[in-house]
Amino acid sequence: MNKYESVIIVNPNLDEEAVKALKDKFEGLINKNGKVESVEEMGKKKLAYPIKKNAEGVYLVFHFEAKPDSIAELERVYRITDDVLKFIVVKMDQ
């Protein structure tokens, strides 16, 4: 299993409960094929440019271990989740 870091920017208009629900959803998805080491909620930050007419976004950073073939499924779920504005998954060096 490889180590990964995933940063997602979530719609800033969501309340805390909805952000927590999204965080739990993605943690569960990662834990199916790997193991979440930590989740960092960085809060609401100003974006460099508007994304989907939003000037701010809520940042979530996931550090996890997973099998390489499970990353495609994670990215697919990020793409189809309406409240995710942007995301990136990066493989970390050992």
Q: What CA–CA distances, in Å, run from 40 to 23, 27, 53, 63?
A: 10, 12, 25, 8
This model's pTM is above 0.85:
yes
Whole-angstrom Cα distance, residue 48 to residue 71?
27
- Phi and psi at residue 16, to the nearest 5°: -60, -35
State pLDDT tens for residues 58-68: 999 999 999 98
What pLDDT does 1 receive? 87
Confidence check: pLDDT of 94 > 80: no
Regarding the domain delimited by 2-91, which CATH topology (the fold level of the hierarchy) does it fall under?
A: Alpha-Beta Plaits (3.30.70)
Domain boundaries, the chain: 2-91
Q: Give the containing element (helix H, strand E) for 91.
A: strand 84-91
Is residue 34 within 8 Å of residue 65, measured between CB atoms? yes
